Amino acid sequence: MDDKLLDLQVRVPNKRFCGSSKGWLIVVEKNFAITLINPFFRVIGMKKKENSTIRLPQLTLPDWMDEEAWAVDCNNYVFKASISADPILNASECIVTLIVEDRCQLAFIRLGKDTTWTFVDERYSLIQEVVSIENKIYAVDFWTKLLSFDITTQSYSDVKISAHEMKQLKLYRSKAYIVNLNEGEFIMVMRYFDFDHEACTRETTNFKIFKLDFGKCKWIQKKTLGDVAIFLGDNSTISVLASEYSGCQPNCIYFNFDRERTQNYPVKPHDFGVYNIKDRSFSQPYTTDAMTLLKMADRPPIWVLPTFQL
């Protein structure tokens, strides 16, 4: 964008990232400890610092789970992860939130305050997406019910319903994502798939967007994003003003192949694209060479929005 060439090599571990948030990558270690990695520290002329990697405590697996079996597949033990604030620039406000297997239950830790992970009441499970906003955790479950609770109350079983489920939606072969837009509007994106089980492939076929009416505790369908573009995947859902990024298309959803829990066999990434909300069309955001490299990868790609200033 600024006609600058950076002498940069980004080094990251050869693991699945269960999330990227605020410019940080999140991975699960073999001992079920969580690690935050920022591969961009050296971009601004800084030497590699110890705080470019932050190691968090181990997760405690329930007694009924087979720890040895999950240790082989530890990369997938955390379905999705996010952080509420930069753990270096704003550590006192940083909450790391996880969706853990095999019931997709919520767990979180507050940096500098907690020494162990806190698990939210197991009655609230099958969570698809989670975000942390101003000391509150919001999570949407398989039935599109939006749950919330206040971190500061330390009453983690007091979960409130911020939006009721939408019974009219076809939820089979779908996935929900939630994001707080730039102007403060809270939305949910529903992504719909078709599966070819014989070929072990899936194809995204449609998107629907809903905004949250806090007063009525309900989702209301939204027809346009305006100047906003949304980026979906295994990362925390990202929204940007398209006019601030050269080449970014407004009123569009950029989507990557992300982990699909209904498929219990290894699948190479293949479901990528850009969805234009206005004309309901699909296009490819990548060149042919880039698509070839993506399809050769063994782990789902993620979107990353670095927080450094050049």
Q: What are phi and psi of 126, to 5 degrees?
A: 50, 45
Domain count, the chain: 2
Q: Which residue, among 245, 240, 253, 237, has the nearest Cα to 285 in the 3D structure?
A: 253
Q: Does any domain span residue 309?
A: no
pTM, rounded to two decimals: 0.88
Question: Taking the chain (310 residues) in consecutive chunks of 10 residues, what is each chunk's mean pLDDT?
Answer: 70 86 92 90 52 88 78 86 89 91 88 89 84 82 86 63 77 85 80 85 92 88 94 92 92 90 67 94 88 80 75
pLDDT of residue 26: 95
Beta-sheet pairing, 33-37 with 53-58: antiparallel
Q: Does any domain span residue 179?
A: no
pLDDT of residue 300: 81
pLDDT of residue 230: 96
**Same structural domain, 152 and 50:** yes
Total Cβ atoms within 10 A of residue 267: 15
Alpha carbon distance 132, 125 (integer Å): 17
pLDDT of residue 157: 53
**Same structural domain, 118 and 267:** no
Handedness of CA 37, 39, 40, 46 (dihedral sign): positive
**Same structural domain, 160 and 199:** no
Helix (H/G/I), strand (E/B), else coil: 2: coil
Those residues whose C-beta lies under 8 Å from the C-beta of residue 292, and which sit 6 or more positions away, are none
The residue out of 115, 130, 165 marking a domain boundary is 165
**Same structural domain, 157 and 193:** no
**Same structural domain, 231 and 135:** no
Where in the sequence is the domain holding 194, given as residue range(s)? 187-301
Q: Does any domain span residue 172?
A: no
**Same structural domain, 119 and 199:** no
* DSSP string over 154-210: T-TT--EEEE---TTS--TTEEEEEEE-TTS-EEEEEEEEEEETTTTEEEEEEEEEE
List C-alpha distances in Å: 47 to 21, 44, 51, 52, 276.
22, 9, 11, 10, 41
Q: CB of 126 within 8 A of CB of 106?
A: no
Alpha carbon distance 258, 244 (integer Å): 26
User: For residue 181, how many C-alpha atoms fall within 13 Å in the half-sphere facing its CB?
Assistant: 21
pLDDT of residue 43: 46
pLDDT of residue 152: 65
* DSSP string over 249-281: PTTEEEE-----TT--S-------EEEETTTTE
Q: Residue 82: which H helix or E strand, with range?
A: strand 78-83
**Same structural domain, 145 and 5:** yes
Q: Does any domain span residue 199?
A: yes
Q: CB of 283 within 8 A of CB of 274?
A: yes
